[in-house]
Amino acid sequence: MIDEQRRQRALDALQILDTPSDERVDRVTRLAQEIFDVPMVSVSLLDRDRQWRKSEIGLGGREAPREDSFCDFTVRQDATVVIEDASATAGFADNPFVVGDPHLRFYAGHPLHAPGGEPVGTLCILDTTPRAFGDDERIALQQLAVWVQTELARDQDLDHALLVQRTLAPRSLPRVPGWTIAAGAAARDRLSGDFHDVSLREGVVRVTLADVMGKGTGPAIIASGVRASLRTAPERALAAAVAEADRLLQADLGDTTMFVTAVHADVDTRTGRLELVDAGHSLAFILRADGSWEHLRSLGLPLGMGMAGDDERTATSAVLAPGDALVCCSDGLLDVLDLDDPFGQVAQVLRDRGPDGAVAEALRLARGEAATDDITVVVVRRDA
């Protein structure tokens, strides 16, 4: 006997009900139709008084009453249910879905479970003619149901990861008289392995931009952790902050091949003095007021590659004069710039549109076909 209240809470927690169709789930229903050669397939979730279909073929709608449904019976049994001829099966012969539309005869369903194990729905196949269903077919149906279940759980995991990523992104950018600060990011997929942070403390703007190798949930989680580490104790010197993040990452991921490139910089808005530590990123520049570019470099391997210790991280310094701008980006931006003259393209956009317009243009390009990676851009300009 299932606990209906607990089951409903688990279903509600998935936050899938009444969401749009999903190609990752639809392809499983199509495959089920091809494998079993049936006219009807459904991924059904059993809500309070309805069965709602995340995906369906041949049933003609996303909803049906839960009462008397074959899927409700399957969920209550919490086991594979096969009915080879409903019209000749006790308990189903007078079912309204058998004596009326769609005049079901064959049904096979397997329960779908929430992450806590509660049965919340089914993957089922249906036919209007009786048919036999062997052990191999049962196993195939169960395997497809596990696939659907994994996809549904992945949606929830992605939503949680997105929430974490959003809460760790800067809510607003500092506003400093005489300076213009702009930043933005666009993920190639739902989750980004890039991250950025811009904060103001006692007249000093601290800028962080980093890129975790890879895409998806894993790099996004690592990105959030590294960002949190670099944000802790903002009074720390740049080299010390980067070294501590490196130690933490090396301790957790030292036996993997994952690493993080990063730029961590301080801009003193009173004097224009810039200090920067580069951990293998090498994509930080100063665009001078006269149109020339200065590449900012400092010695250092990416985080997570074993280069821990303050004495092994060195900062480079420069001064931003009026009209100069610090420009940092992730390598995804390189994919969408003019290959013949990327610096000229960036300089012109900054000159014509300013920092905010330049970031907006980068994010527009990130939505184009040429983009193959996450794109993040930060611009800090000392106004003329």
Q: What is the pLDDT of residues 249-265, one digit of tens each?
A: 777 655 556 788 899 99
pLDDT of residue 155: 61
Comparing CA positions, the residue from 291, 286, 262 lying closest to residue 273 is 286
Distance CA 85, CA 129 (A): 8
Length, in residues, of the chain: 384
> What share of the chain has pLDDT > 70, as a percent?
89
Question: Which class in CATH covers the domain with range 4-156?
Answer: alpha beta
Distance of CA 248 to the CA centre of its chain: 23
Of 14-28, 95-109, 217-231, which gets the smallest average pLDDT? Answer: 217-231
pLDDT of residue 310: 45
Q: Where are the domains of the chain?
A: 4-156, 169-382
Q: What sections of 15-63 are H helices per DSSP? A: 23-36
What's the mean pLDDT when you consider all of the chain?
A: 88
15 class by beta-carbon count within 10 Å (0-12 exposed, 13-18 middle, 19+ buried):
exposed
382 class by beta-carbon count within 10 Å (0-12 exposed, 13-18 middle, 19+ buried):
buried
Comparing CA positions, the residue from 215, 228, 199 lying closest to residue 158 is 215
What pairs with residue 280 in β-bridges? 262
Q: What is the mean pLDDT of residues 92-113?
A: 95
Buried/exposed 169-194: b ≥16 CB within 10 Å, e otherwise: ebeebbebeebbbbbbbbbbeebbbb
169-382: what fold? Phosphatase 2c; domain 1 (3.60.40)
pTM (two decimals): 0.61
pLDDT of residue 216: 61
pLDDT tens digits, residue range 328-355?
999 999 999 998 999 999 999 999 999 9
Residue 312 gets which letter from DSSP? G
Residue 298 gets which letter from DSSP? -
Give the SS3 label for residue 137. helix
Q: Is the pLDDT at 51 greater than 80, yes or no?
A: yes
Tell me if 230 sits within 8 A of 242, measured CB to CB. yes
Q: Is the pLDDT at 237 greater than 70, yes or no?
A: yes
